[in-house]
Amino acid sequence: MKIKHNMLKMFMKMVPVLGAGIYFSLLFSSCTKNNPDSSGVEYMPDMYRSPSYEDNSVNPNFADSMTDRRPVTGTVPVGFWPDPFPNTPDGWTAARQYLKDPYPATAEVQDQGKAIYGIYCVHCHGKEGEGDGPVGKKLPGPPPPYSGPQLKSYTEGEIYQVLEYGGAYGNNLMGSHASQLTVDERWKLIRYIQVLQHHGDNDNAGGNATSASAAAAK
Ligand code: HEC
CA torsion angle 86 90 92 96 (round to 10): -130
Q: Is the pLDDT of residue 7 over 80?
A: no
* pLDDT at residue 206 in the model: 42
Binning pLDDT at 50, 70 and 90, where does residue 97 land? very high
Residues in contact with ligand 1 (CB, 6 Å cut-off): 120-121, 124-125, 135-136, 139, 141, 143, 151, 154, 159, 162-163, 167-174, 177, 189, 193
CA quadruple 105, 111, 117, 122: dihedral, nearest 10: 120
Mean of pLDDT over the chain: 83
Chain segment 112-149, per-residue pLDDT in tens: 999 999 999 999 999 999 999 999 999 888 899 999 99
Distance CA 11, CA 140 (A): 104
AA identity, residue 212: A
Top-confidence residue, 176 or 212: 176
Q: Which of 183, 194, 196, 151 is nearest to 170 (CA)?
A: 151
Q: What CA–CA distance (Å, rounded) separates 53 from 66? A: 10
Q: Do 41 and 29 meet the contact criterion of CB atoms below 8 Å apart?
A: yes
- Segments making up each domain of the chain, as ranges: 89-217
**What average pLDDT does range 159-179 have in this prediction?**
86
The pLDDT score that the predictor gives to residue 31 is: 56
pTM of the entire structure? 0.65
For ligand 1, the distance from its centroid to the CA atom of residue 167, given in whole angstroms, is 6
The CATH number assigned to the domain with range 89-217 reads 1.10.760.10
More confident residue, 31 or 101: 101
Which ligand 1 atom sits nearest the alpha carbon of residue 193?
35
Of 124, 172, 192, the one to substitute when testing ligand 1's pocket (max ligand atoms within 8 A of C-beta) is: 124
Of ligand 1's listed atoms, the one at least distance from the Cα of 190 is 35
Spacing, Cα 125 to ligand 1 middle (Å): 7
Counting residues of the chain whose pLDDT is more than 70, the rounded percentage is 82
